[in-house]
Structure 1
Amino acid sequence: MSIGDALKADLSSFSPQERRVARVLLADYPRAALGTSAELAAAAGVSPPTVVRFARSLGHSGFPALQQALLDELSERVASPLSLYEDSRADRAEGHWLDRGVQVATASITQSLTAIPTAELDAAVTLLADPRMRVRAVGGRFSGHLAGYLARHLRQIRTNVSAPDDGQTIDAADVIDADRRDVFVVYDFRRYQTSTVERATELADAGAHIVCVTDEWLSPVAQAAEVVLPTSVRSTGAFDSAAAAFVLTELLVDAVLDRLGPAAVERMRRWEAASAHEVLA
């Protein structure tokens, strides 16, 4: 869990003055804490010693240690496959690759999905199950396949669901036509795609509801999103894993199906009848 996630989860253990520091940091995360302690204190309207106490309340020895932790988060946020490969080389000699991979994937899925607040999950399902909403799923270069997977399943249980042909393009028409009747599910993971971030912000400004499925460091899309669903991308190799996001996608479909009930089941029945000729009997 990132420092920002920890602060969002619970501020009750901090003093009122420390909470002011936390809110300033969260409002401009993590940049607000990358200057001097005096600058952060001034922005929060507190004394520099309060900033030091805030850092210690987070478990750090002082403000420099907090800054280093934030810088380490930034480094992880922009990690490339090449740097991930170099970092993982030492672990590759330990045991069989399958055993390592299964262990890491299982832990990542369980820990990250159970850490998502149920209120966020329920809010996502409410938006996706609302028959008045138009749902469009989009992703990036690699996450576009997740967007397409979500859309193809939702189309079988409700109307007004779409995804770009390549799974990853939010075009000008999307922005021009967007309003409060639209839900965009945006998949965006580290080494975030600039065009996706910019378009998502424009969609939110137009009134569309944004559901952001992202990693533990949070895509900038999260700042414009109504619902944020962080998932772990941890893997044992050079490339980030989409396993947790994939499982979350399947669970969302199941939850929407349960929420829609008989109407969705009837649509599934008609869907199967219409596509019966496409499968082996």
Structure 2
Amino acid sequence: MNEGATAASVDQVLDLFDGVRLTPTQRRIAHCLVQHAPAVAYLSAAEVADLAGVSQPSVTRFAVALGHDGYPALRRRLRDLTAGTPGGSADAGNELQQAVRAEMGNLDRLAGQLADRDRIAETGRLLAESRPLPVLGLRAAAPLAAYFAYFAAKVHPDVRVLDDGGSLLTDRLEQAAEAGASALLAFVLPRYPRETLDALRDARAAGLTVVAITDSPVSPATEHAHVVLPAAVGAQLVFDLHTAPMTLAMVLLQAICDAAPADTQRRLEAFEASAARRQLFLG
């Protein structure tokens, strides 16, 4: 996401797609609008097409799919939505404070999404029942996959981290499916490694249900995932902030624990007994 794309403008653009069934090409255009909000409100259809890597007629059809007469009408709507978007101000603090406050906004939006507890609970059951449970995260997403898997391994009998790409990745996905896996949890974050999206396709081909934690409901992951759980990524600093995706990962792990509370308690008690016997921790 461009540094100029404020959280408020992104939310307003995302509202345009709410409840609209988009084709894969249209999702690419929608993702482009989100990534470049609010500047995209002043681009031509040809410029948007170039940014999204689609044809200009596709941009026009996209505007019509959203209920507009054509792209000029959509652009006017985008300008109306983003015209009042607040930018930086003196009382907002320095750029470091603004970056942290933007993360607070990302967490606040995530909290709003979690009002639908049933969806998270159902996803937790889906992942809890997968034996083994493969967890995919490449490049920037690898630390999040490892963090999630470290704690998940305390309550799930077989968690397999897939954090290396290459030709062996598909082998490992197929091996997990052959061993009984029914679902894959994938962390799909900007800049969206091609290998990650290829792996999602391979996972589906292997019969796995793909659950994706990604930065936007119109990210490239939505073309390949059965369940999409969005959590915004902060882009105000040189490198992205993953506060909201990590929080969502831990919320999802809580749902896994809640799906089988007796097994969770038994495994946690067994770990604590083992840790005490081996004197793993100082406190």
Matched, 1:136 2:134: yes
Secondary structure, in 3 states, of the residue corresponding to 1:275? helix
Q: 1:112 aligns with which of 110, 116, 120?
A: 110
Distance apart, 1:257 and its partner CA:
1.5
Q: 1:54 aligns with which of 48, 67, 72?
A: 67
Q: 2:72 aligns with which of 51, 58, 64?
A: 64
Matched, 1:162 2:160: yes
Distance 1:52 1:173, change over 3 A: closer
TM-score, with length taken from structure 2: 0.69
Structure 2: unaligned runs, 5 residues or longer:
1-9, 30-44, 50-54, 79-86
| 8 A Cα contact 1:113 1:244, kept in partner | no
How do residues 17-166 of structure 1 correspond to structure 2 at under 5 angstroms? 23=21, 25-30=22-27, 34=49, 35=55, 51=64, 54-55=67-68, 62-64=70-72, 66=74, 95-97=93-95, 99-115=97-113, 118-130=117-129, 132-164=130-162
Secondary structure, in 3 states, of the residue corresponding to 2:240? coil
C-alpha distance in 2 between matches for 1:162 and 1:220: 24
Distance 1:214 1:53, change over 3 A: closer
Distance 1:269 1:251, change over 3 A: same
TM-score, with length taken from structure 1: 0.70
What's the RMSD between the two structures over aligned residues? Answer: 3.5
How many corresponding residue pairs? Answer: 236
C-alpha distance in 2 between matches for 1:202 and 1:67: 37
How do residues 108-257 of structure 1 correspond to structure 2 at under 5 angstroms? 108-115=106-113, 118-130=117-129, 132-164=130-162, 167-169=163-165, 171-179=169-177, 181-216=181-216, 218-257=218-257
Secondary structure, in 3 states, of the residue corresponding to 1:159? coil
| 8 A Cα contact 2:217 2:229, kept in partner | no
Secondary structure, in 3 states, of the residue corresponding to 1:228? strand
Distance 1:217 1:162, change over 3 A: same
Secondary structure, in 3 states, of the residue corresponding to 2:140? coil
| 8 A Cα contact 1:156 1:268, kept in partner | yes
Distance apart, 1:28 and its partner CA:
2.4
| 8 A Cα contact 1:216 1:232, kept in partner | yes
Aligned to 1:76: none
| 8 A Cα contact 2:135 2:184, kept in partner | yes
**Percent identity between the two aligned chains:** 22
Aligned to 1:59: none
